[in-house]
Amino acid sequence: MKHLVVICHPRRKSFTQAIAKSYVQAVETLGNEVVVRDLYRLHFDPVLGEGELLDAKKRVTSRAVRTEQRHVSEAGAIAFFYPLWWAFMPAMMKGYIDRVLSCGFAYDIKIDEMIPRLTGKKALIFTSSGADMAYLRQSKQWSSMRLLEEEHILSLCGIELLEHVHFASVLPDLPQRSIDKHLSIAAKAAQKHWGSTPAAQG
């Protein structure tokens, strides 16, 4: 199966990037093809333009967006990596969703019904936060994140979420042994979900 990995973090040496690298290595070790789309390194433009909201016949879809949509189409599995910023995903990640998972590509609207168009694809989400789990729950950040990101966005497109792996209390002074433990959790998630998958090119 072909795997798509979408990373959203401005710093190359961030925790988010390290977790993504560990996951990618594990998926590749299992014999799968992985396409990495590092949104900041690609200078992905997250701003949805007027032309993208025109009627289907007049709609303007940029080459950059078409490229990302092709990667989504070709992938059987998609993994998203991003930090929690102000109780939500970074604007770059949100812009990717706005523009790439567009109407007519990721879903259709028929009268008052939403028709998913990415059915059959599976996803994993890897996030991190500075706050601990107790505070995320108490402050409702966790429920808003789950409702908006997992239950609304992915399911509406027909993408099945296999797991949301969240790393809480990721602060600048996180000891190396904790980082190593988290890296191995990311690799284990890959083994858990893709360990028995035949490495067919999809």
Ligand X SMILES: Cc1cc2nc3c(=O)[nH]c(=O)nc-3n(C[C@H](O)[C@H](O)[C@H](O)COP(=O)(O)O)c2cc1C
The residues of the shown chain that bind ligand X, judged by CB under 6 A, are 9, 14-16, 83-87, 128-131, 141, 170
3-state SS, the chain, equals CEEEEEECCCCCCCHHHHHHHHHHHHHHHCCCEEEEEECCCCCCCCCCCHHHHCCCCCCCCCHHHHHHHHHHHHCCEEEEEEECECCECCHHHHHHHHHHCCECCCEEEECCEEEECCCCCEEEEEEECCCCHHHHHHCCHHHHHHHHHHHHHHHHHCCEEEEEEEECCCCCCCCHHHHHHHHHHHHHHHHHHHCCCCCCCC
Taking the least distance from each CB to ligand X, the nearer of 136 and 154 is 136
Taking the complex as a whole, the smallest distance from the CB of residue 113 to ligand X amounts, in Å, to: 34
Nearer to ligand X, 69 or 141 (CB): 141
Least distance between ligand X and beta carbon 85 (Å): 4
C-beta closer to ligand X: residue 3 or 9: 9
Q: How far is the CB of 65 from ligand X (least distance, A)?
A: 25
The nearer residue to ligand X, 86 or 113, going by C-beta atoms, is 86
Minimum distance of ligand X from residue 105's CB (angstroms): 29
